[in-house]
Amino acid sequence: MTTVSENDHINLLRQHDLRPTRQRIALAGLLFNAPCRHVTAETLRAEVAAQGIPMSLATIYNTLNQFSRVGLLHEINLDDNVRYFDTNTDHHHHFFDPKTNDLIDIPAGAIGLRSLPEAPDGRSVERVDVVIRLA
């Protein structure tokens, strides 16, 4: 009954001081069984609904925010003022298709960034994000 990946997810949640509730286990199952996913609160809600799991939208937002805070997800902002959450937390870049709102991962090594300019005054670079917008 309890699948192997479900136990993995329970452990994953515990490692991040998140109680393994039914809701968080279900969302971890949807998010972390595939190697790399890009979801919004609404696309994830549709998946939850499709599985017949009852869950409030507030819980989906709470959980996405908690998963991001502990580093299980990575936030991306693109056109149309909707937040995307990325299950790939390695450093990487994206193709973005504005017609379909699809995101495709590009491994960091696939883009050679030469000659980055200096960060201003006393600032340091936290991250470099490349988005290749498709036509």
Partner DNA sequence: AGGCAGTTTAGAATAATTTTAAATTATTTC
Partner DNA sequence: GAAATAATTTAAAATTATTCTAAACTGCCT
Residue found by looking up tokens 């994953």 in the block: 12
**Taking CB within 5 to 8 Å according to partner kind, which of Zn ion, Mn ion, DNA, none is near residue 133?**
none
CB-wise, 72 or 86, nearer to Zn ion? Answer: 86
Q: Which does 21 bind (CB under 5 to 8 A by kind): a second copy, Mn ion, DNA, none?
A: DNA
Residues written for the chain? 135
- Taking the complex as a whole, the smallest distance from the CB of residue 52 to DNA amounts, in Å, to 12
d(CA 134, CA 90): 22
By CB under 5 A, residue 81 contacts Mn ion = yes
Residue 73's contacts (CB-CB under 8 Å, 6 or more residues apart) are 31, 64, 67, 85, 86, 87, 89
Tell me the site size for Mn ion, rule CB under 5 A: 2
Q: Which residues bind Mn ion (CB under 5 A)?
A: 32, 81
